[in-house]
Amino acid sequence: MMMNELGELAPAADKVRHKRLDTRTRDLINQAVASVPTLGLQRAAEFLATMNVPAEVAVRVLVYPNRRRAN
């Protein structure tokens, strides 16, 4: 724990969780990730592109699953 600017105890910066605000993108990504075993990585990537998910997000979640945010 550390002090924030108001002098209150707050979690360390590296432990702060950010609430996901874009639930549509979250749902699309979860759908694409779930489809990888049956449809493959290419089809999942095409789906995300078609749904206008930013390319850097799609690559991060499909190619580097350990970089996905926890729900």
DSSP bridge partners of 2: 10
Helix (H) or strand (E) holding 3: strand 2-3
- Interaxial angle between packed helices 55-63 and 41-50, expressed in degrees from 0 to 180 and rounded to the nearest 10: 150
pTM score, two decimals?
A: 0.67
pLDDT digits 0-9 by tens, 5-53: 566 665 555 555 556 668 999 999 999 999 999 999 999 999 999 999 9
